[in-house]
Structure 1
Amino acid sequence: MARSSPTLENLVTRVAARLMPADVASHRDAFYQVLQLLYEYFGVEGCYLRYHDHDLAAAVLVAEWPPQAHGAEPDTPGVLHFRDADPAIAESEYSKEPRVIREPAESITSIPLLWGEVTTGTLGLVAPGDRVWTDDELDSLRLIAALLAQVQARIRAEGDLRYAAYHDSLTGLASRRALLEHLDARLGRGNPGPVGVLFLDLDRLKALNDFLGHRAADTYLCRIGERLMQVNRPVDLVSRLGGDEFVVVLAGPATVADAVERAEEIQRVVGESVSLGGQLVGRGVSVGIALGEPGEISPVELIGRADQAMMVVKVQGGNSVGVFTDDMTQEGERRTLIELNLRTSIDDDHLVLEYQPEVDLRSGAILGVEALVRWNHPVLGTLQPAEFIDVAESTNLAGELGTWVISTACARLAAWKERIPGLDLTMGINVSPVQLVAAGFDESVASVLRRYGLRGAEVCLEITENVVVGDLRRTRATLSRLERLGVRIAIDDFGTGYSSLGHLKSLPVDTLKIDKGFVQNLHRSEGDRVIVNSIAGLANSFGLDLVAEGIEVEGAVPYLLELGCRRGQGFLLGRPKPPGEIEESVARGYVDLPWTTGRGRVFGVSRRTS
């Protein structure tokens, strides 16, 4: 006897409640719960969920109810190739509508999981005899299949981001994040040591790049990555930092002799010629070695020492091996000088802000600017944030520096509003992890807004992903208070550090800013396009704005627009400039885009209406 519609509605609601919080860690349990609900509600003999692997041309079993007893022979294999499967499976490969396969003793109802135009899986119900399904029941099963397809898409996107966070997009080697996490574990107090690190830099890669082109250089880097995996042991960590730099962490305690022997073997293997474009090319490699005792050095310091040793080799002509010694202290002295001068520079007007526009990629309309701090050091010259922000955090100056940046940026926005009637602009301001979790941070922001007569929505605080996955409880509390002020929140450099879906759902975030590393090669990197597509899907799923950073070539723009990303930053759109130089563009309200196709119009979009 068919159930009433309200009961079916209740079933769909219960299914949705179990699927909405599902993530990588919990989705299989959620699937089993959903199948159990369907099994009990419809009184069928069994339910199953299969995902379609179209590359493999197979349906892969994800969950079934009742579950098979431990050790029992499965009724059907976990992987069923469509060409060999029975009709219930084979005909589901591209099916778009529910189908009922009737057999003498049972009937199998197959409900497709659809994501756009693609059939991504099948929800199956096995019923005794010739069960007849009502239209209401089939409609409810369609809704449940749609929910399962959404979870499937989210999990795949999350998996893409997780893989991107821990693997280099070009070579597939371990990423910088994976390297740092590995070293952090190895260098924990009480672990066996010394820990040996080899820093590799290919010699004269730029000449090869200029001569044969980017594609050939990328192919060469991939070949080098393969050789590094072959010459090192599976228990060693091989990572690519970017460009032509690689790092190898030797497994187990290492001696200088061990490290030198490995480095020389790497030199020999890497130095062998590679065939590119019908030509044999080869490059030497400079290797720096550093050893560190667990509990006595940080990952960044150990890598830095190996890097210093490599640079000494480079200066001496390259293609050799060098070992870090205590007299390699130039960088240490530079850091000390920065530490000594930073506090006074905050008070002595040596710090300045430059502003980079964020624009509508269709029209060039300026939607906001990002405030970027610079330090005019009297001895070292102009320093970028990467050279002193970590020093500020390690010396408890991050709060003082951050307060100066927020106050100065808001004062600038207030001054522009006074001189430019009707100005509608968002000021983006970077916030450090230390600053965000400091007591009274939201009160400090509120005070600055009142002082300069700004609305909260005119300010967007940009936080990095390590803030999201760090002190989540305090971060959530602070961001909630900022949300009540109307302040917007953006996750900066998104995709490099991997934020889980659970974190995104629980935090009042407005915007994802795609890391420039994925954008700069978007026009020629299928891997980067896959990642950006996943990020765009996440932003759309959670109703977040999307901004692409690092737009430096025009070829990336069509891909971004196709994915629905209409906001961007980068040198192609506008470099960071002092306030006096950028004010004219701010007053005009737009920047001229290289792809403008008519007066005031881009891709058919008017600046006035964008």
Structure 2
Amino acid sequence: MTQVASELMGVDATTLVPASERVLADLVDHFDVDFAYLRHTDRKRGVTVLVAEWPRRIDPPTPDPLRVVAFADADSLFRELEEATEPIIIRRGDTVPDYQETIRRSAGLESVVTACVPLVSRGRSSGVLGFIKRGNRDWSPGELNVLKAIAALFAQLQARVEAEERLRYIASHDDLTGLANRRALLEHMESRLRAGEQGPVVTFFLDLDRLKALNDFLGHSAGDTFIRSLSTRLMENLDSDDMIARLGGDEFVIVPAKTMDAVEAELEASRLQQLISQRVSVGTESVSRGVSVGVALGVPGETSVSDVLRRADHALLAAKSGGGNGVVVFTDAMRAQFELQDDVELNLRTAVSDNSLVLHYQPEVDLRTGRIVALEALVRWEHPTRGLLPPGAFVAVAEATNLAGELGRWVIRSACAQFAEWRRRGLAANVVIRINVSPVQLVSLDFVERIEEVLRTYQIDGSSVCLEITEHVVVQDLMRTRLTLRGLKRMGVQIAIDDFGTGYSSLSHLKALPVDAVKIDRGFVQRLGDSNDDLAIVKSIIGLAGSFGLGVVGEGVETPMAARTLVGLGCYRAQGFLIARPLPAAEVEEHLRQGRIPLDLDLPRAGRGVASS
């Protein structure tokens, strides 16, 4: 007993079989029997499972009829052992059950006697410890008591191993679906991406589209049912060796066991889309969701797990930004884009405070005379390693990381400080400074007060400042926008709608707002002279703006044809590369001294239309 207890003390799931075999070998010698075996009862499946035997049978058949035996199909002894709690002895002359006959023949034994000692746990049998002796053998009460004690040790070991296995399962599986969780996924991918393994390793990052709408309409329990049904469908339709993990919510990651190239991976992602889009019965409803899929490929020994998952996540974001229910494979171009985004996000916060942000100014002129009527302040970032970055490279990141307000305040204060300095030196006397305002700034409760404080600090009259907002902001929060703009107008500040015509709003919205001008989106202006559709749109914007008494500015003027077309339509104010690119403050000063930028557009002597004051 002491020897057996010592042998089993440190056993876990990984060492259970060899340790059990050693104990069985000792018991065979000690009790002078020919064969011993250990079986566990799986009540959920209704079967008895062979754990260990000694001596091992030579060349057991495949499949092994003794490995897993269903109680429903077993002989009378096994059916009795399923619930037995006391030893059962089959002596010489007794009818030998089919199972014992199978053992006898497999072990090369002749007439046998068998002792079956149940493993009792919490008053129920959880397995059996069995011994077979050739010929006849009497088992004394003392021996049976020892075997019962040893069986109890095996029962305790089994309970401990099952508890450990359960904890291990919980630690590596999602509790809602039974799929692998993030921890198991990472361990699996570490193994797949190890040097020397086959590749490339494909990773699919899936996100269900608009699951929240389903939860809101049918309830969260219905959403859980939907998730479980989809998980079952994935397990039934994918290879058993594929890794399927749920990361929580409506996010899944699939790592196929099969290696694939990018083309094969994209085809497989489309198959997954079709599989998931099939309808699911939830209560009395039949529902379905689309799914966005990001695809990334990893090379064993070269690509880390975090890199593959990050790339798949970036591809997923690209798929969702395209409206959802799409497939995007991560590419080198996307890698460069997201490396820049990560770099910007990491360093932008310090850029606001370490003087690495600068302002450039793009002149706006009267196309008929070349006179400078306004300067648009445009922020740039002198990145420590990437050089001068335009706003398109970092403004969206600022908005996504709650830095837009801080960045916007810096732009307003810096632009007004420079404008006041020019005014002090006698420059820009009849020029308006234009400053772009982010959505975050416009809806902040103290925005009007901040503008008032800046104007007072630099002694600038409000009519010399024009704040530019996008159409999207107007529609996003029309009520709040109206209150803010009215507060600005009380100070005389001008308001312009930037990038107008891109489809977010209509001039009917502007009728309710204290707006002074609209700036026609550069996409329409650039193609003037080449596109009749753009000509019709620009003509319509100019005509409708005139009927509302609004000024009009053409953005993106890059060709003489575009400039002449604008003048012919009655839009005289414009900016663009044909006139001047955005310039540092020192360089734009030369234009301010001249007061105009010479243009040779071969315009007619007189033009009539909407004048932009």
Report the TM-score when normalising by structure 2. Answer: 0.48
TM-score w.r.t. the length of structure 1 is 0.49
- Give the number of the structure with larger relative contact order, counting CA–CA contacts within 8 Å between residues 6 or more apart: 1
Larger radius of gyration: 2
